[in-house]
Amino acid sequence: MSVNEDTIKRAQKGDEIAFQILFDAYASLVFSVCMRYMKDNEEAKDLMQEVFVKLFSKLKDYNFKGSFEGWLRKMTVFAAIDELRKRKEIIQSLDEAVRPGLEADHSSVNVLEALAAEDLMILIRGLPRVYGLVFNLYAIEGYKHHEIAQMLNISEGTSKSNLHDARRILKSKLKVIG
């Protein structure tokens, strides 16, 4: 559900009812994005609350260029990255070099496409935190490796390596399931 420009403008001026309308309209979107980055529902709910607190203070910065939904989604992704960075959960293994012996396997993409979205989300949440983060940013959010590298302060090669490893792990989990 999207809201009209007038509601956003009212919320920017501090109208609590308009802000509640924004919350009601976008809570499920924000929560679903949070679920992709957090390990469980409680972490996702906590992050969602942080996102809406941040939205309340940053809403005046929204300039109506591009969709509000896209702006809010991006804010949510960055809030998740910030939270993981605070926990020091994205620093570990991000700077590892490409590990030898891992062969590229592009067939895993086709297997993942056939998997139900809910099942895939459960598998992604089971990845080591850093791999899940890169996988989400690349495969789900649509960021390019150079953008991910910039966001996470890593090299482009590390981003590609982590994506490759995430896909390899997901494929091995699929073999166990299947």
Give me the domains of the chain, ranges plus CATH numbers: 5-86 (1.10.1740.10), 107-177 (1.10.10.10)
Q: Which pLDDT score, from 0 to 100, does residue 128 have? A: 86
Question: What was the pLDDT predicted at 21?
Answer: 96
Q: What is the mean pLDDT of residues 129-144?
A: 90
Q: Is the pLDDT of residue 13 over 90?
A: yes
23-37 tens-digit pLDDT: 999 999 999 999 988
How far apart are the C-alpha atoms of 112 and 162, rounded to whole Å?
A: 17
Q: Helix axis angle, 68-86 relative to 16-37, nearest 10°?
A: 50
As a whole number of angstroms, the distance between CA 69 and CA 113 comes to 25
Q: What percent of the chain has pLDDT over 90?
A: 53
At 54, is the pLDDT very low, low, confident or very high (cuts 50, 70, 90)? very high
How large a percentage of the chain has pLDDT more than 70? Answer: 79
Residue 90 pLDDT > 70: no
Q: 168 to each of 32, 69, 155, 158, 163, how far by Cα in Å?
A: 24, 32, 20, 15, 9
pTM over 0.85: no
